[in-house]
Structure 1
């Protein structure tokens, strides 16, 4: 499995590639650089470099790419396990359609959820600098006549799925990318951006807020939320310590849909989230009632990637409720 990470290795061989890349799990400070790697097997990785990773994606049989940005308190092998589950579900739906590429940022491995939470918020913000460089590097590669000549351009469609605190990583990454590399505005890079159980304030996507940049870089932005998400309930309590009392985007959806850009959609997942992920109701976007069988949230995500539209039968619809009754 190909992956990108801002997590430091135990031994950094820059500028040379590291054939035996080992995550430094005791260090949750983000690297100043990003590393493009391949997972060979459990706990065995090699650094291959950005050009090799991008070329491998271009040459793959898959029509689309899904960048998966995980949530807080997830160590690398947990992320890979979740990404493999999502990849298997995609393959089951339509082989050769979607290639899942995890983006791993340095969560903490300390004991205690509150300590982890604050450490991970800092790591999420720090990772934004390295990951913004990742997007700029991609733009340079895509425009390169050497790697993408006119008669052989890269035609992959790019999507991104951010889960939980991964939404903070995405938001801050795009803000840094705009600030330092794209001051005239972000390019339309993503076909679809899926914000699942987003651990950011629910005004984040409003016009004039920093999260508005997510809609600038995306054709469509889909917010999946559930009011009984217990992990986000704990997140809200934790954020009170930082004088941030606003509800989370993954609890309520956007605070006011009229204040969001026109390409933002909201999907209520209350009917299925705790059923798919008991008791927390936080990771409900992969399998449904049975491991390896897609749930209705996954179905909606996959169909959106397949069609390029959030509600193909109703172009003016902005919100919906997902139930166990598939339509």
Structure 2
């Protein structure tokens, strides 16, 4: 599985193609460097370099890419477990349709959710500078006549699934990219962005707020939320301890849909989240009641991947509730 990371390796930070890459799990600082790598087996990784990485994605037999940005308190193998489950579910729905590509940012490896939370939040913010560099590298590669001549352009559809605090990584990445590298706002480069159990304030997507750039970067932005998500309750408790009072996007959906751009959609998952992920009700976007069998939330995500539309039967509809049959 191909992946991108800004976690420090135990080896040098200097890129060397095909070298062994080992995560330094005791170093929670985000690296300014980014590494384009491949997982060849459990806890076995090697660096492939940005050009070879992008060429392999372009040459892949899959029609679409799904970039997966994980949440807090996830170590690399935890991320791969989730990404491999996502990949298996995608393949079961339709072969060679969606290739999952995880982005791994540095979470703390201490025990306990709340004590890790604030360190991970800082790491998420600082990771924005690294991943903005990834977007710059992609744009330069995509616009290169050498790598993408007019006779052979890259036609992959690109999508993002951000989970939990991965939404903060995404929001800050686009904000940093826009501030330091772009002149006229972020380009429309994604077909769908799925914000699942988003650990950012619920006004984030409103026009004029910091997360509005997410809406500019994608054709569709789909928010999946559940009011009884226990992991986000821990998030809220930690923010209150640090004198930040706010409701989370993953608890309520957007604060006011009328204040969001028209390409934002909200999906209430309150009826299924704790059934699919008991007792936390936080990772409800993969399997359903039985691991390996797609849940209704995943099926909703995959339907949007296939069609490029969230509610193809009603172009004006922007909200729905996922219910068990």
Scaled by the length of structure 2, the TM-score of the pair is: 0.99
Aligned length: 325
- CA–CA distance in structure 1, aligned partners of residues 86 and 13 of structure 2: 32
Matched, 1:31 2:31: yes
Secondary structure, in 3 states, of the residue corresponding to 1:291? coil
Q: Which residue of 1 aligns with 2:62?
A: 62
5+ residue gaps, structure 1 = none
Q: Which residue of 2 aligns with 1:300?
A: 300
Give the CA deviation at 1:242: 2.5
Matched, 1:233 2:259: no
Secondary structure, in 3 states, of the residue corresponding to 1:305? helix
- CA–CA distance in structure 2, aligned partners of residues 62 and 324 of structure 1: 31
Q: Which residue of 2 aligns with 1:71?
A: 71
- CA–CA distance in structure 2, aligned partners of residues 40 and 15 of structure 1: 18
Secondary structure, in 3 states, of the residue corresponding to 2:28? coil
On the 8 A contact 1:276/1:289 being kept in 2, the answer is: yes
- CA–CA distance in structure 1, aligned partners of residues 15 and 92 of structure 2: 39
- CA–CA distance in structure 2, aligned partners of residues 126 and 155 of structure 1: 31
Secondary structure, in 3 states, of the residue corresponding to 1:130? helix
Matched, 1:289 2:289: yes
Give the CA deviation at 1:18: 5.8
- CA–CA distance in structure 1, aligned partners of residues 258 and 99 of structure 2: 34
Q: Which residue of 2 aligns with 1:7?
A: 7
Give the CA deviation at 1:219: 0.3
Q: Which residue of 1 aligns with 2:85?
A: 85
- CA–CA distance in structure 2, aligned partners of residues 183 and 291 of structure 1: 45
On the 8 A contact 1:12/1:18 being kept in 2, the answer is: no
On the 8 A contact 1:73/1:117 being kept in 2, the answer is: yes
- CA–CA distance in structure 2, aligned partners of residues 238 and 248 of structure 1: 12
- CA–CA distance in structure 1, aligned partners of residues 281 and 160 of structure 2: 21
Scaled by the length of structure 1, the TM-score of the pair is: 0.98
- CA–CA distance in structure 1, aligned partners of residues 239 and 13 of structure 2: 38
- CA–CA distance in structure 1, aligned partners of residues 170 and 244 of structure 2: 19
